[in-house]
A and B are shown apart, each in its own frame.
Chain A
Amino acid sequence: MAELVLAAATPHNPLLWRAMRDPMPDDLAGVAANFARFRRAFAEHDVDVVVVIGTDHLRQFFYDTSPAFVVGKADSYHGTWENEVRTFGMDAVEVSGHRELADEISGRTVLPEAIDFAVSLEWRLDHSFVIPLQYVRPELDLPVVPIHTNASMPPVPSVRRFIALGEHLSRAISSWESDARVAILTSGHMANDVGGPRTFAGSPDPAFDEAAAAWMRDGDLDGAIRVCSDFERITEAGCMTYQYLNAITALAAMGRPADFVDVAESRFASSPFFLWGSR
């Protein structure tokens, strides 16, 4: 059977792509060191395929049709969008898909009991997927199964659904008849208010950041549920903070406290780094 060998939660802040270059600015050294640690972990765990969980930023998925969870079933994916090349200086990339694992996750004929997924066979990945992959696996040589979570177009799935997603991924991977070594790579933010009243002014809610890091350090799903069930509370922490819930999916998939927890401070809002390994 396949094995879930690694899970990671990282930031996907696309402004890093231009800013985090040598000579490394002092304030970004911690972010760069954390990404280097995660890059080593992916290499050391001999990962064969990556389930990449992110939140499309109203590019591929929009309010004309807004699914809660989308599993990518394409053979390959184009990476990033014209506006992200313009705005963030990102590079266009190509990433291979993994149809077999995608079918294991979404169900090929009937959806699993746990989640009513949508599926997509033609999907251009935005920075939420491309940036974390480029930092933890710059070679982009591993096939991926992207999963979009709607964390930016209310109504959004509840925190319990993000947990159900993680638990389902754990089951689907461990019951997959394969010898593949699978990693889960999620990305999002701590408190973040891009476009809101506290945009680009550091963390809009350090108290939320502190609590949210502790849920990972302690493996405290109940604590996460208590706070993240309150949409108004999450919104108080910033208009894009709900993307933090992608990290909760990783916590639920691994079912134990993270082995490494760091919330890196820089010129940007706080950057989450949570890692679960098996070596």
Chain B
Amino acid sequence: MTKYMVDKFMRYVELSDARVAAYVADPAAYVEGWLGAGAGAEGATDDRVLTEAERAAFAARDYAALYALGAHPYLLWHFTEAVHAHEFTPEQGWRELVERYRAGVAPQGVVDYIP
């Protein structure tokens, strides 16, 4: 399990409007591209590694799975909000996403998110 890398990916995407847009356009391809774009051994350290389960969760925007994998809750919520906001409608907006998110994570209780 690589909780640190899960947090690193979420933070990287959520900080930037352009990265959010690129990720939501094709989550699976974006994850693979991110994994392949870390620094080499000669650059400032920028390692990028995700397990199969973590890659699958990001490809599916599966916040409940990411929560179970130990994603930092604060980062996870804001990442989730950022990558679903383009789908908001008057009937299915922020409040409904909050309800779905809570329904996904609440049964799991408090998960150890310390990397």
In the complex the two chains form, is B108's CB within 8 Å of A154's CB?
A: no
In the complex the two chains form, is A58's CB within 8 Å of B75's CB?
A: yes
- Residues of B within 8 Å of A86, CB to CB, are 17, 20, 82
Q: Tell me if A134 is interfacial: C-beta within 8 Å of chain B.
A: no
In the complex the two chains form, is B15's CB within 8 Å of A239's CB?
A: no
Question: In the bound complex, how far is the Cα of B5 from the Cα of A64, in angstroms?
Answer: 10
In the complex the two chains form, is A195's CB within 8 Å of B82's CB?
A: no
| Interface 9-residue window, one of B22-30, B31-39, B53-61, B98-106 | B98-106
| Residues of B75-115 contacting chain A, CB below 8 A | 75-78, 81-82, 98, 101-102, 105-106, 108-110, 113-115
- Residues of B within 8 Å of A235, CB to CB, are 110
In the complex the two chains form, is B7's CB within 8 Å of A58's CB?
A: yes
In the complex the two chains form, is B81's CB within 8 Å of A87's CB?
A: yes
* Majority DSSP secondary structure for residues of B touching A: helix
Q: C-beta contact mask, A193-231 vs B, less than 8 Å → 1, else 0?
A: 111111111000000000000000000000000000000
CB distance from B8 to the nearest CB of A (A): 8
Q: Tell me if A158 is interfacial: C-beta within 8 Å of chain B.
A: no
- Residues of A within 8 Å of B11, CB to CB, are 58-59, 62
Number of interface residues of A (CB under 8 A): 27
From B7, B15, B74, B75, A82 is in contact (CB under 8 Å) with B15
Question: In the bound complex, how far is the Cα of B10 from the Cα of A57, in angstroms?
Answer: 13
- Residues of B within 8 Å of A195, CB to CB, are 72-78, 105
Question: In the bound complex, how far is the Cα of B54 from the Cα of A150, in angstroms?
Answer: 27
Question: In the bound complex, how far is the Cα of B101 from the Cα of A197, in angstroms?
Answer: 9
- Residues of A within 8 Å of B108, CB to CB, are 197
Q: Tell me if A260 is interfacial: C-beta within 8 Å of chain B.
A: no
Output the residue of B7, B74, B115 with the most chain A CB within 10 A: B74
In the complex the two chains form, is B114's CB within 8 Å of A196's CB?
A: no
Q: Tell me if B51 is interfacial: C-beta within 8 Å of chain A.
A: no
| Residues of A80-107 contacting chain B, CB below 8 A | 81-83, 86-87
A residues sitting closer than 8 Å to B (CB atoms) are 57-59, 62-64, 81-83, 86-87, 152-154, 193-201, 235-236, 239-240
> Given A195-B75, A199-B102, A200-B98, 10 more contacts at CB 8 Å?
A59-B15, A83-B14, A83-B15, A86-B82, A87-B81, A152-B72, A153-B72, A193-B73, A195-B77, A199-B98
> Can you give 14 A-B contacts (C-beta < 8 A)?
A59-B15, A63-B4, A64-B45, A81-B15, A83-B78, A195-B72, A195-B76, A195-B78, A196-B105, A198-B106, A199-B105, A200-B98, A235-B110, A239-B110
